[in-house]
Structure 1
Amino acid sequence: MSVERHGISVGIERVSCETIIVFKAKGKLTHDDYQAMIPIFKTTIEELDSSALKILVDISTLTGWELRAAWDDFKLGLELNSKIDKIAIYGDKSWQELASKVGSWFVSGDIKSFEEYDSAIEWLID
């Protein structure tokens, strides 16, 4: 039996004195994945009380989005626009560079893609 695993986990990582919100996307994301994650994420950023969010998006195991999930992702980016300082996109996908460029049109903070996890973290805390 083949089990399809997909979803988005949200975590907090402390590096030196910096707080980084980490998203780990797995499989092909659905609208339901965003519906489950968004309340957790909003509670996390309220507790952090930060107006300069540093976010790591780990897409190393992402295979894609359903159209409605891509729309959810776009809306979340617009909603958080003014609170984002930096977004690092980590993974080895050939399309991650394009995603970071398109995202930069809609997010006021800096967005950059990385093929190495440690490089992404170092850029976020710099």
Structure 2
Amino acid sequence: MLQIIELKEKNIVATKASGKLRKEDIEKIHPLIHAILDKGMKVRWYFEMVNFTGWDLPGLWEDLKMDTAHATDYEKIAMVGDKKWQNWITQFMKPFTNADIKYFNLDQKEEAKSWIESL
């Protein structure tokens, strides 16, 4: 499941992932990304993972398509989690985007929010 979280800045998409992400979860993000891009801004994404177990196959495919299509549209991505594999995914993403990507542990989520909002 992917839940939209409110953050104050107008170019930030903030989400909390739990369980398995499905195609429908990823599709919820498309309008938010396009609304930011339509304003001529780059996207900053705060992605918090709590009890997150990954993607089902259609969800993974949709996520890969979205990330590929918007590889140059992201400015910053804060990945927040508590599992070693989640940090590994963060490192794996780096060559595929121009965004500044950082991994934070769950106990650092306030630091991650400050970082995603900072210039």
> TM (normalized to structure 1)?
0.77
* Aligned residue in 1 for 2:95: 105
- Runs of 4+ deviating beyond 4 Å: none
Distance 1:111 1:93 in 2: 17
Select which of 4, 9, 31 maps to 1:10.
4
| C-alpha displacement of 1:120 | 0.8
- What whole-Å deviation, never above 9, does each CA across 1:15-67 have from its counterpart, x for those lacking one? 6xx742202112111223323x14442454256x1432211001123122112
Matched, 1:74 2:64: yes
Distance 2:61 2:100 in 1: 21
| C-alpha displacement of 1:71 | 1.5
Distance 1:119 1:65 in 2: 26
| C-alpha displacement of 1:10 | 2.8
Matched, 1:122 2:114: yes
Unaligned 5+ runs, structure 1: 1-6
| C-alpha displacement of 1:68 | 2.0
Distance 2:35 2:18 in 1: 20
Distance 2:42 2:34 in 1: 16
Alpha-carbon RMSD across the aligned residues, in angstroms, is 2.2
Distance 1:114 1:97 in 2: 8
Unaligned 5+ runs, structure 2: none
Select which of 20, 23, 32 maps to 2:15.
23
- Between Structure 1 and Structure 2, whose CA radius of gyration is higher? 1
Distance 1:12 1:50 in 2: 21
Q: 1:61 to 1:117 in 2, by over 3 A?
A: same
Give the match's secondary structure for 2:79: strand
**Percent identity of equivalent pairs:** 27
* Aligned residue in 1 for 2:32: 41
